[in-house]
Chain A
């Protein structure tokens, strides 16, 4: 078993600083965002008028669904709607 002195342990602790808070939060909210997207897309598939309103304002549609409209999520919604 290798032995570690204080300096080595301190250096190793310092090698893993926290990731930016916003990045972590966005990743943590992924399941909720996916659920929100799925619901929006399902409703848009069934309702042409709703689909048009979502496409007209993707950010607001996401917010109404309780999903933070981060650029990645907005892009994903746009892609999903284009595919359907």
Chain B
């Protein structure tokens, strides 16, 4: 079943790649060879993360967030060769996104004639740490069966009602709550057994 807002082709490709458990490093290596499918997967893998840092972390407007979002991926595409350690692509993208968000806030402050020496309000480190944790949870979700990924994503991330989920997945609405609970149990097992993500090192971002 295709999620709203997803392309069927992209969803199929994602599930293929998820099933193959393509690591970040392997994906980066494939992107370097000019593999367009790998690039699409890389964007798909990190799009929520970049979006959340801009919107939730830095509370940018939609317009500013879109500019940052596109600039992040443009720079990643152009500078993938400067990444020293392929497995560090995630902290690299996070750092790049944060830097571009700060630039955007500063530009906004200048345009509004605010004191340019005064830094705009930056997100608390705890908020950004929580987004890291959220990303880890989503990675753990990718290891669950497709039915669980769908139901958890639709309910928690897309804010769909039991009725909508039931209609889209062809399930009785009355069973959704118990299915969510069972999927969360699986997610907990998967998540708590994961190793921590790589530290933000090995980057060379300009």
Contacts and interface: CB of A to CB of B under 8 A. Distances in A.
Interface of A: 1-4, 6, 9-21, 23-28, 30-32, 34, 72
B184 A23 contact: no
Contact of A31 (B34, B130, B138, B181): B34
B44 A28 contact: yes
A35 B5 CA distance: 26
Contacts of B164: none
Q: Which of A3, A19, A21, A34 has most chain B Cβ within 10 Å?
A: A19
Nearest to B41: A28
Given A27-B47, A31-B34, A16 B52 contact: yes
A51 B10 CA distance: 35
A70 B125 CA distance: 35
Given A17-B48, A21-B5, A30-B74, 17 more contacts: A6-B184, A9-B137, A10-B155, A10-B184, A12-B133, A13-B152, A15-B52, A15-B134, A16-B52, A19-B51, A21-B7, A23-B47, A23-B70, A27-B73, A28-B10, A30-B43, A31-B36
Complex A-B, nearest 5 residue pairs according to Cβ-Cβ distance, in ascending order: A19-B51, A13-B156, A15-B134, A27-B73, A16-B48
Contacts of A11: 156
Q: Is the interface of B mostly helix, strand, loop or mixed?
A: helix
Interface stretch (B81-89, B98-106, B187-195): B187-195
Interface residues of B, number: 45
A72 B138 CA distance: 30
A3 B187 CA distance: 12
A69 to B, nearest CB: 15
Given A19-B48, A28-B39, A31-B77, A4 B157 contact: no
Contacts of B152: 13
Interface of B: 3, 5-7, 10, 34, 36, 39-40, 43-44, 47-52, 56, 66, 69-70, 73-74, 77, 130-131, 133-135, 137-138, 141, 152-153, 155-159, 181, 184, 187-188, 191-192
5 contacts: A3-B192, A9-B137, A16-B138, A19-B48, A23-B66
